[in-house]
Amino acid sequence: FSDVSGSRRFKRRVAAFGILSAFIIIGGLTFFWRAMIFNEERVQIAVSGAQSVASAEEVTFTITYENDNWRSLKNTALIFSYPESFHPQDENGKEIKGPVIEIPVGTITANAKGQVVIKGKFYGFKGDVAYLKATLRYSPGGTEAVFEKTTQLGTNIFSSPLSLEITAPLELASGQD
């Protein structure tokens, strides 16, 4: 009779330990799974283009974005900020507001990448450095949180389109031509 009650107690302990283990495993997997679905570090943005340009020369910048998550990014917009010395070309689908171009991207699906090309000209003095900034604003699928990822690129103006040279005598006397 005592062997039967000891056996029941042992079975109850094993069952309780099994249930507790199952809860811990399920909780750990849930935490791990959520981390795998979206990680802010898996969203990338980069700006590439000329790092040295002549003033008034047309230049092209490519903004590349990538979503390496298992979830889509929704309500995505690309914001390109530039200094007053940069004059972008008007292009369809790009809304220009002062020194900012906002480009609606929409939804970036899981494990996808894309790019946007912006053309324009710099007008400035030789030696000026202009910084272009690109920001990707997005909301991960399944949440209303808004995230931003930003990068920038410096471009040096190495020449000016206008050169002025004056030739005159060093001294001028009255009555001299």
Q: pLDDT tens for the chain, 177 residues: list them.
A: 456 677 888 888 889 999 999 988 888 777 666 555 788 999 999 999 999 999 889 999 999 999 999 889 999 999 999 999 999 887 655 767 789 999 999 999 999 999 999 999 999 888 999 999 999 999 998 788 999 999 999 999 998 766 667 777 777 777 766
| pLDDT at residue number 34 | 59
| pLDDT at residue number 67 | 96
Quickly tell me which residue has 């009650």 as its tokens. 5
E-only strand ranges, 19-111: 43-49, 52-54, 58-67, 73-81, 86-88, 95-97, 100-108
